[in-house]
Amino acid sequence: MIEQPHEASNSILDFDFPNFPPAAVNVFPNLFSSVQCPDGSVAMMGGRIDSAWQWNIPIREGVVNVPIQQELEELQTILREVEPKADVNDMFVWSLNGCEGYEVKKYYLKLQELGDENSQILLEENRSAIQLIWNAWMPSKVKLFAWRMLKDRIPTRMQLLHRNIIEENEDCCCVLGCPVIEDVQHLFLDCGKMRTVWINIYQWLGIHVDFIVDCGNHLLKFVEKLKRFCPVKRAASLWAAVCWCAWKHRNAILFENAMDDLEDLVHKVKMYSWLWMAIGSRKRVICSFYDWYNYPLISMFV
Ligand SMILES: [Zn+2]
């Protein structure tokens, strides 16, 4: 959103320019204190010559020095793209479609464009992993969680530190008790306790997946191992169930002083994955929880 100034607006130094978030008074402090009338209207900062607007910032005599000159040149460069209107009031212009009014479609397309730019640095494997998550059978909130997790955008202690929400002298270590900083890779794969959980799940399913990978690759390998037994969507939701239950387990320990009960965590993974399977398939659940609990690979064909 950009601001379209009117000639009678408040000082040109006091409004936000396109692509220039803070008010100009904060960005050009030397210039602001040197203009003849810092609170003057836009009309006092220029004039029309043959109907074309020309900016002319009036500086007090005898005060021009190098910093002021530099700030003035910088401001004039920005102002080249700004022309006050004499016949319309101040208004905001939605810059994506160049007219008044917000359009969801334009915003969506812009986000996609930005996404494409970002995706150039997103590894191909991670893109495939995210695609799996979006198509898997699980509640939307879990999809959102898994998507954020794969993009390292969940509030682990590492992320909170990175965003200055917690400080280095605060506890940044793994909530499950390791003397290691808690990031996504540690919390869901490298942590000794999480490995115990994964190994329990592997034993339950009768598979093994390497740990020496990142989370996205782990999901791909996990699905690869299971895809001859069940639809890919079901395998991906099973993987997400482990991560979702681990995250809830970690939060319960941190915020509710819950017990660090790994057996209970494994049990919840089995329960949630069964529930999501039942809901996602949009059919009556044919296999009982007992069958799922005891013979998951046979039940997966159901
Ligand atoms: Zn740990």
Q: What span, in angstroms and rounded, lies between the C-alpha atoms of 21 and 198?
A: 47
Give the residue among 47, 44, 48, 28 at the shortest CA–CA distance from 36.
44
Q: What span, in angstroms and rounded, lies between the C-alpha atoms of 197 and 272?
A: 15
Distance between Cα 146 and ligand 1 center (Å)? 19
Distance between Cα 240 and ligand 1 center (Å)? 19
- Do 250 and 268 contact (CB within 8 A), yes or no? no
What is the three-class DSSP state of 52?
A: strand
**C-alpha dist (Å) from residue 287 to 136, 139, 293, 299:** 19, 20, 10, 6
Distance between Cα 287 and ligand 1 center (Å)? 35
Q: What span, in angstroms and rounded, lies between the C-alpha atoms of 55 and 44?
A: 9
Residue pLDDT tens, the chain, 302 long = 444 555 555 545 444 444 444 566 677 888 888 888 877 777 888 888 877 888 888 888 888 788 888 888 888 887 877 777 777 777 666 667 665 567 777 777 777 677 665 555 556 667 888 889 988 888 999 999 999 999 899 999 999 998 888 887 778 899 999 999 999 999 999 999 999 999 999 999 999 999 988 999 999 999 999 988 888 888 999 999 999 999 999 999 999 999 999 999 999 999 999 888 877 666 656 778 888 899 888 777 65
132 burial type by CB count under 10 A (0-12 exposed, 13-18 middle, 19+ buried): buried
Packing angle of the helix pair 262-280, 232-256 (nearest 10 deg): 140
Global pTM reads 0.62
What is the three-class DSSP state of 269?
A: helix
Contacts of 259 (CB under 8 A, 6+ apart): 253
Distance between Cα 179 and ligand 1 center (Å)? 7
Distance between Cα 214 and ligand 1 center (Å)? 16
Distance between Cα 182 and ligand 1 center (Å)? 7
* pLDDT tens, position by position, 6-42: 555 554 544 444 444 456 667 788 888 888 887 777 7
Q: What span, in angstroms and rounded, lies between the C-alpha atoms of 83 and 239?
A: 56
- Do 189 and 158 contact (CB within 8 A), yes or no? no
Contacts of 79 (CB under 8 A, 6+ apart): 12, 17, 55
Q: Which helix (H) or strand (E) holds 204?
A: helix 192-205
Q: Which two tokens stand for residue 128?
A: 């495939």
Distance between Cα 186 and ligand 1 center (Å)? 6
Listed in sequence order, the DSSP H helices in 43-122 are 66-79, 104-119
Q: Which two tokens stand for residue 139?
A: 């509640």
- Do 123 and 131 contact (CB within 8 A), yes or no? no
Distance between Cα 198 and ligand 1 center (Å)? 13
Q: What's the chain's Rg over C-alpha atoms?
A: 29
Contacts of 151 (CB under 8 A, 6+ apart): 126, 130
Distance between Cα 259 and ligand 1 center (Å)? 15
